[in-house]
Amino acid sequence: MTGENIWQGQGYDVSDAQKLAELVVEAWMNSPGHRENILRQEYTHLGVGGSQKSAPVKYGIWLSDQGILAAEPVSINQTQVAVGPGNYRLRLYFVASRQRNRISYIIYNGPQLVIK
C-alpha cells in the first residue's frame, strides 16, 4: 500500500526546519484524512521531501537495480501507475526551462518504493 500526505504553505520561516516540521505534522494530525494515513498500520516506511520554489509536474517509476524506467513519466495529477512487484525509486520532474514547444526538466530521485 502507498499513501500520501502533502502540505503546502507560503511565508513560513524555512531556516528553522524543526519548527516548520512540527507545524506541518500538527496540521496533518488535525486533519482526519491525513491523520488516518499517518496512523495506518499497513504503512511501514516514510519518505519526506520539500521544495521551496516549485512543485514537480511529472513523476516516473525507476527500476533502481536495472537503471531503467519501469513506467514512463506521467502528470503529477495521475494517481495510479501500473508496475509489478519490485524495488523502485520515485523520480520527480521539475520544469527547468520552457522554450517554444520544448520543456527541459530537472529530475530528482524521490523515495525508494518496495511493491510486493
Q: Where are the domains of the chain?
A: 1-52, 58-115
Cβ contacts of residue 18 below 8 Å, gap of 6+? none
Per-residue pLDDT reduced to its tens digit, 32-56: 988 888 888 888 877 766 666 677 8
Q: How far apart are CA 12 and CA 29, in angstroms?
A: 19
Q: Which of the two residues, 17 and 61, has the higher pLDDT score? A: 61
Name residue 56's amino acid.
P
Q: In this structure, are residues 92 and 107 in contact, taking their beta carbons and an 8 Å threshold?
A: yes
Q: How far apart are CA 63 and CA 87, in angstroms?
A: 7
Per-residue pLDDT reduced to its tens digit, 4-28: 777 777 777 767 778 888 888 898 8
Give every strand in the sheet of 58-63, ordered side by side.
Answer: 68-75, 58-63, 86-99, 102-115
Name the band, by pLDDT with cuts 50, 70 and 90, for residue 30: very high
